[in-house]
Copies of this chain bind each other. A is one copy, B any other.
Amino acid sequence: MTPPKPYYQDDLATIYRGDSFDILPYLSGIGAVVTDPPYSSGGAFRGDRMQSTSTKYVQTGTQAYRPEFAGDNRDQHSFLVWASLWLNAARNACVPGAVLASFIDWRQLPTLSDAIQAGGWTWRGIAVWSKGFGRPTPGRFSNAAEYVLWGSLGAMAERDAYPPGLFTAQPPRGEREHIAQKPDEVMGWVLGLVPPGAVVLDPFMGSGSTLVAAKSLGFRCVGIECDERYCETAARRVSQEMALSF
């Protein structure tokens, strides 16, 4: 097969439209994988998980068009297999010492930690995004955090940076490009793990928040997304972002 043609490209950012499993074999030289994959979560019971994404996740306010996102209906076993496979494929595109950071919710956290190790990465910890009080439920702990599982490909490069293991930021309200969109400052916090000069890869780009934050920090970055609408959104957002000059 011929190498894929970028959907979008500028001096720092590259976007490929397609399935990660098809694109990843053509990539190399990646120094950091930072992503927010589909969680396949959304309920304790199989019936709850199999609802459409727009039904099972709450959406309020006036909404831009947000297509369903694919690949969010796996059961736990399938999620483990699928996540192990993409983590392995991403690893093959990486240089030694590359770092990994993946968002996940509480329900799939244990499964993703298994997948990280099954995919050949060293799991090194959990970082916490504190979202404030979170959604209250009577008699239960509120759902106040999302989690970032992180690790590396062998020994990590020595660095003189000390990113905090917990970061507080309000979740986005109202208008969003994507139902699971993360605030830019949250992405910037996670990118604090990435050594200067590393190429950042997001194999589940969505609306492109990872690339926007990476570009603004001066990282070269690569995004993969199968939904053309999201590719369009991400290309627009990334093209409007100015990189820091050094």
- Which A residues lie at the B interface, using CB under 8 A? 44, 106, 109-111, 113-114, 122, 124-128, 130, 133-134, 136-145, 147-148, 150, 156-166, 193, 195
Of the A-B pairs whose beta carbons lie under 8 Å apart in the complex, a sample of 9, sorted by A's number, is A126-B145, A130-B166, A133-B164, A134-B164, A137-B162, A138-B162, A141-B150, A144-B164, A145-B165
Bound together, the chains give a CA A158 to CA B139 distance in angstroms of 7
The 6 A-B pairs at the shortest CB distance, nearest first, are namely A144-B165, A110-B110, A139-B159, A144-B166, A141-B165, A142-B165
Bound together, the chains give a CA A137 to CA B164 distance in angstroms of 10
Residues of B within 8 A of A130 (CB): 128, 130, 166
Nearest CB to that of A152 among chain B residues? B140
Asked whether B139 lies within 8 Å of A161 as measured between CB atoms, the reply is yes
Nearest CB to that of A159 among chain B residues? B139
Asked whether B161 lies within 8 Å of A138 as measured between CB atoms, the reply is yes
Residues of B within 8 A of A193 (CB): 139-141
Asked whether B161 lies within 8 Å of A141 as measured between CB atoms, the reply is no
CB of A105 to closest CB in B, whole Å: 9
